[in-house]
Amino acid sequence: MFKKFTILSLLGFLLFSCEKKPAQLSDEEYSKLTDEQKRTPEHALDGIIVADDRLELTLFASEPMMSNPTNMDIDDRGRVWIAEAYNYRTALNPRNPTRAEGDRILIMEDTDGDGVADESKVFYQGNDINAALGIAVFGDKVYVSVSPYVYVFTDADGDDVPEKKEILFEGVGGEQHDHGMHSFTFAPDGKLYFNYGNAGEGLHYADGSPILDPLSREVNNKTQPYKEGMVFRMNPDGSDVEVLGWNFRNNYEVATDSYGRMWQSDNDDDGNRSTRINYVMDYGNYGFKDEFTGADWRARRVNMEDSVYQQHWHLNDPGVVPNLLQTYAGSPTGILVYEGKLLPEEYQNQIIHSDAGPNIVRAYPVVPSGAGFDAKIINLLDGNSRDNWFRPSDVTVAPDGSLFISDWYDPGVGGHAMGDLDKGRVYRLAPKDVDYTVTKPDYSSVPSLINLLQSPNRATHFKAFMALVEKGEEAKDALEKLYTEGESRMRARAFWVLTKLPNGNDYIKTAATDTDENIRMAAIRAYRNNKMSDVSFLLEMAGDESAQVRREVALALRYKSNPEVWLKLVDSYESGDRWYLEALGIAAEGFWDDYLPKYLEASGSGWMESQDAKDIVWRSRASNTAELLGKIILSQPGRENQAFYRALDFQAPSSKNETLKALLANAPEEDQLIILRQINFDPASPDREILALAKQTAGSIADDRDFLDIVSKYGLTDQKDRLEKLVYQSDNNQHSQMAANSYASLYGMNAIKNTFADSDQAKAISSIEKFGAIDNEDMAKLLSEVYTDESKSMETRTAAMEAAKGYNSEPYLWELAKADEIPAEMLPIAQKILLSSWNGTIRAEANDKFGEDTPKSTIDLPKLLTQQGDVAKGLLISDNYCLSCHKIGEKGIDFGPGLSEIGDKLSKEGLFNAIINPSEGIGFGYETQLVKLKDGTEFTCIVNSKTENDLVVKLVATAEQKIYKLVDVESVTQLDESLMPKFPLSETELVDLVSYLETLRK
């Protein structure tokens, strides 16, 4: 509902703010504060280190004026707008209270000029905007992103009370989800840019009709090539929506510079230290999932990258745009390009970004490199070493050029968890002794509008842009003067307005000859925006000396057949410039059968001697590309062929298989394993030639993992001895488990049962320990036959009882326990398993039966927060509990999120809560999924990916991916409960464990 605004009482905060700002506490002084003192607004500035001593951080607003800001904007009057999220992910945080009236959009203002907000208005409040992730103020319109909708509020009379609320987009998906629709931003080309993360499912207009691309394909996560997170742009009225990039994980915001270039951050799967910054090249695939199959980044593949970071984004695959920068562990949030003059020169015209995970705000100075860019990191603000509740959620530039930072302020971030509901801050960063002053903007005169067009504040820039376009010819001379005499980026801003005038195309042609390559790039972008069709223009620009300009020409060819321009562009390609190669691939999409033959003909019969030509073939998708890749492979035996084998995966399956079969007869012996791994094989109608080769090759495969893959893929039953050896003797626990599962699949449970009955007790126990790790009901029953058999030794029965744990085994164990069928001497072990069961229902029922208190009912968290535990003991507890599902460094199992830097991500309180209440902070992509197969089998797991034919999962406490055919899957249902159990730890053990986890930092 629409309400008149309210003014909130801020007496306590104002009394503090009016005092002279004291010097920041020293490390020693800060360490003496209690945790409660550290969390107060009075000490907010003491908890954040400003890396540049020329700059000063001030507190603009905090609780009780506001709380939990998810996103922020600043209007042309210098007022700060925030979207609050008090009612945040309520289903996943059931202990948290809710605000019945719904969440709020606040406007906060400094009316007395002291740099501190003293007035707050509620622009809108309602349950329809609960936990909105985006707010953007453009003139009399306010865009609010709250999945599955985007709302536009209109305040035509400027009284800060909206007259209407309209749906701009619907059907986005990602309701109450951090990976849903994010905020909108105004770009100097006059368009609005926005994005959503990989909880987004598609984009629909308010009437329910889908957004279509230029080929009339629906833009959603079920239509190739679109998948995962995406970037869009549109006209301010919602027309001419375009999808500009896809296959991100959680691209939180998109930032544009004055030349029209796009920049983003993107979050990795939690704990994999692969958060990234992207230059977003239009129409690019950014590699989170396999482009063709949608498979998870962990899926084994030919030419798999050497590092987790490169694997995570499929950076060795043709068709993936490179990353700009790796920022390691993080939960990235707001991003902008700072085009003001108030901050020191090294921050001007550079990316500035907030990351709530490591409690940091950074700048990323960027320099061109070929058709792409290089970047470095400069820290601006750091809360990690002092107050790791500092959770910067957004960065925004005010009209005076100062940088504002909103702070979610919470013990943790990510996984939809929320530990604090009442706190939240907004800071201002500016040079020392520079007060916050905002002059009332004048939009009536052309000279004033020219000045306002150059504002670093996007709300001001928007209004000036629109006013100048409306003035048209009246503003032309002044705009031309700025274009001729201004600084490069301000010249670009004038240029964009000039392109909107009646003779705008003439300015585009003029800009195409400019001495500044950035202006020439903008000219090509404007050519696209104005829907020009002069082919001679692109042909001329294709010969530009700048690779940056030629990149833009290539992107302008998307959806348009123009072999002459493409061939001219490809002629200047130099091997090693991956950005340029991908731009050429983007341009050729849909036209490879026309372009590639002409290119190879021009290259001559010796094209395979040219690395440039081989790169082009590697990237191509022509109908004869697979055949050409085969020729390259045969011409150059060796390791470098793996890239060309991998490229076959992006060709038509029939062509790929034909080429691989042809290679079998001629490829060197060392390539046969690659071919066997890569070629499509159907066990139901096996190709006898390929099966024979698999049998012939398997025994000589040196790598155990490769051996297991081939045995499993081809169902080879003649490798029993080596499988047994791997089960019993492998130093790699993952390989041992894989071998045990393959053994059971190939030879059946009876073969394993016989090993359990070995007359040699030591061998029987070893078999139970190794094969008992198979987590299914059949194994649970087999183990029960051992531990209930009183004729067997106590040692043997104990081993079987201890092996009876596992998510899919414990239901059978619980049924025996309920029926009192577990022998008394085995019951203590069974109780321990059931009381720490992976299954919450079993755990709760076991507590009722065995009379144990749950940890939650006895834990005094405030008391625990004051205690320091034994780190060495915490390490041992971690080894016993955490490593069964998490990796810490090189140790552990890659099932749940990595913990190697968890001390940087979560505060002490956040760590306690993650252990005590694991279901309140489940990382996206790690949710519990209940899979039902058509044969009646049920199991819980993590779903890594769903391809056209396969469901790829990780079963509980295993790192190995298991593939099920979709035709065999009845249903997949997401459950609210985490797969992580509530471990039966004492308070002392909890404190020790948290003290150890706090030490896990970068």
pLDDT tens for 134-176 read 999 999 999 999 999 999 999 999 999 999 999 999 999 999 9
Of 230-234, 393-397, 779-783, 854-858, the least confident: 854-858
Contact 554, 587 (CB under 8 A): yes
Q: Which of 661, 680, 688 is nearest to 672 (CA)?
A: 661
Extract the tokens encoding 760: 């040699």
DSSP per-residue codes, 279-316: EE-TTEE--SS-TTT---TTS--TT--SSHHHHHTTTT
Task: Tell me what pLDDT residue 422 has.
Answer: 95
Confidence class of residue 963 from pLDDT cuts 50, 70 and 90? Answer: confident
Contact 579, 371 (CB under 8 A): yes
In this predicted structure, the answer to whether residue 293 has a pLDDT above a threshold of 50 is yes
The long-range contacts involving 34-37, CB below 8 angstroms and separated by at least 24 positions, are 35/865, 35/866, 35/908
Task: Tell me what pLDDT residue 92 has.
Answer: 80
Confidence class of residue 863 from pLDDT cuts 50, 70 and 90? Answer: confident
In this predicted structure, the answer to whether residue 132 has a pLDDT above a threshold of 90 is yes
Residue 962 CB neighbours (<10 A):
16
Q: At what angle do helices 547-556 and 517-529 cross, to 10 degrees?
A: 10
In this predicted structure, the answer to whether residue 553 has a pLDDT above a threshold of 90 is yes
In this predicted structure, the answer to whether residue 283 has a pLDDT above a threshold of 80 is yes
Collapse the DSSP code of 166 into the 3-class scheme (helix H, G, I; strand E, B; otherwise coil) and give the result: strand
Task: Tell me what pLDDT residue 109 has.
Answer: 98
Q: Where in the chain are the domains?
A: 1-120+346-438, 139-330, 477-667
Task: Tell me what pLDDT residue 879 has.
Answer: 86
pLDDT tens for 871-926 read 999 998 888 888 878 888 878 888 888 888 888 778 888 888 888 888 776 777 78
In this predicted structure, the answer to whether residue 193 has a pLDDT above a threshold of 80 is yes
Contact 404, 397 (CB under 8 A): yes
Of 16-20, 439-443, 483-487, 564-568, the least confident: 16-20
Average pLDDT score over residue span 415-439:
93
Q: Which residues contact 686 (CB under 8 A, 6 or more apart)?
A: 714
Place of tokens 């031309």: 480
Average pLDDT score over residue span 312-338:
96
d(CA 697, CA 703): 12
920 vs 4, residue with greater confidence? 920
Residue 35 half-sphere exposure toward CB, CA atoms < 13 A: 14
Confidence class of residue 77 from pLDDT cuts 50, 70 and 90? Answer: very high
Average pLDDT score over residue span 98-119:
97
d(CA 683, CA 595): 38
Task: Tell me what pLDDT residue 855 has.
Answer: 43
Task: Tell me what pLDDT residue 853 has.
Answer: 43
Task: Tell me what pLDDT residue 856 has.
Answer: 45
Task: Tell me what pLDDT residue 1 has.
Answer: 40
The long-range contacts involving 29-37, CB below 8 angstroms and separated by at least 24 positions, are 30/386, 35/865, 35/866, 35/908
In this predicted structure, the answer to whether residue 391 has a pLDDT above a threshold of 90 is yes
The long-range contacts involving 841-848, CB below 8 angstroms and separated by at least 24 positions, are 842/810, 842/811, 842/814, 843/981, 843/982, 845/814, 845/818, 846/814, 846/817
d(CA 693, CA 675): 10
Task: Tell me what pLDDT residue 997 has.
Answer: 92
Collapse the DSSP code of 890 into the 3-class scheme (helix H, G, I; strand E, B; otherwise coil) and give the result: coil
Burial of 669 (0-12, 13-18, 19+ CB in 10 A): exposed
d(CA 483, CA 330): 40
Confidence class of residue 7 from pLDDT cuts 50, 70 and 90? Answer: very low
Contact 620, 605 (CB under 8 A): no
In this predicted structure, the answer to whether residue 5 has a pLDDT above a threshold of 80 is no
Task: Tell me what pLDDT residue 633 has.
Answer: 95
In this predicted structure, the answer to whether residue 2 has a pLDDT above a threshold of 60 is no
Confidence class of residue 858 from pLDDT cuts 50, 70 and 90? Answer: low
**Mean per-residue pLDDT over the chain, rounded:** 92
Task: Tell me what pLDDT residue 3 has.
Answer: 43
Task: Tell me what pLDDT residue 11 has.
Answer: 42
In this predicted structure, the answer to whether residue 16 has a pLDDT above a threshold of 70 is no
Of 28-37, 561-570, 644-653, 913-922, the least confident: 913-922
In this predicted structure, the answer to whether residue 379 has a pLDDT above a threshold of 60 is yes
DSSP per-residue codes, 789-832: -TTS-HHHHHHHHHTT-STTTHHHHHHHHHTT-S-TTTHHHHHH
d(CA 339, CA 456): 5
Task: Tell me what pLDDT residue 905 has.
Answer: 76
Confidence class of residue 974 from pLDDT cuts 50, 70 and 90? Answer: confident
Confidence class of residue 599 from pLDDT cuts 50, 70 and 90? Answer: very high
Phi, psi (rounded to 5 degrees) for 143: -95, 120
Task: Tell me what pLDDT residue 14 has.
Answer: 46
What pairing do the DSSP bridges indicate for beta strands 149-154 and 164-170? antiparallel
In this predicted structure, the answer to whether residue 93 has a pLDDT above a threshold of 70 is yes
Q: Which of 773, 734, 771 is nearest to 756 (CA)?
A: 771
Task: Tell me what pLDDT residue 433 has.
Answer: 94
Is 0.85 topped by the overall pTM? Answer: yes
pLDDT tens for 233-281 read 999 999 999 999 999 999 999 999 999 999 999 999 877 789 999 999 9
d(CA 951, CA 933): 11
477-667 sits in which CATH class?
mainly alpha
d(CA 282, CA 347): 25
Percentage of the chain exceeding pLDDT 90: 76
d(CA 486, CA 258): 13
Contact 896, 887 (CB under 8 A): no
Of 316-330, 397-411, 548-562, 637-651, the least confident: 637-651
Average pLDDT score over residue span 980-987:
79
d(CA 838, CA 978): 9
pLDDT tens for 717-755 read 999 999 999 999 999 988 999 999 999 999 999 999 999
